[in-house]
Amino acid sequence: MASRQRDKVLALVRDSLEPLDAPVIAQALDVHVTTARFHLNALIDAGLVEGVALPSETVGRPRKGYAAVGTDPAAPVLRALLAQLGDTAEARRAKAAAAGRAWADGMAVAAPDGAGLPDPVTVVTAALTRLGFQVSSTVSAFGVHEIRMCDCPLRRIARDAPEIVTGVQQGMIERVLERCSPALAAQYTVEVGPDAAAGDCGVTLRLARTTTLPAPPATELPLI
């Protein structure tokens, strides 16, 4: 139990674009701040985390923060670049969607076999898997396909700027569908949002038909 909780503390520190203090970590993991400090000190002893001084929010000694050893020194630059995408979440998401489409333009997309339309779930899950996302489940019902996944490749950004990550994912999936089959892309709208049950890492992608067509009952589809 302690080992799993410590792994969560380490993941939280590693995924953050800036050092975190113990109260923030305790609140994020719903544990007592003393417990958070216990695991952080153990991670320092293991050489995985280091303590850093943070500016004090009040008069007094600087707060102690924690950062993963070997943290990317470009993180502050990344944070500054992300801030330039716009002043509002809507603006940042729109520009991120354009980046997602450009990302998809650089990847190989297999042409569909035969004359019929390809299965959208197969197309999307194949693309996500190639890009390093972990697809956990797919469910189809009444013309809507829900693909639940873990946004591991973009997890560092997702914690502080979820609208950028969902924008990238939406644009990428839209372009993958267009490149695979324009006719298929015309039949579906793409929606991406956080999966409340899975925390920062969980994302649900919905492919909804633009027209109402008969569909089979809900079924669990095998992962690929």
Mean pLDDT by 10 residues, the chain (224 residues): 84 84 91 94 91 70 82 74 90 94 84 75 88 86 87 71 90 92 90 68 84 49 47
**Contact of 160 with 197, CB cutoff 8 Å:** no
**Contact of 172 with 179, CB cutoff 8 Å:** no
**Which pLDDT value is given to residue 1?**
62
Q: Where in the chain is the domain with CATH 1.10.10.10?
A: 2-68
Whether CATH 1.10.1060.10 fits 2-68 = no
Record the pTM. Answer: 0.63
Domain 92-221: state its class. alpha beta
**Contact of 167 with 97, CB cutoff 8 Å:** yes
**Contact of 210 with 178, CB cutoff 8 Å:** no
**Which pLDDT value is given to residue 69?**
86
Q: Where in the chain is the domain with CATH 3.30.1380?
A: 92-221
**Which pLDDT value is given to residue 198?**
54
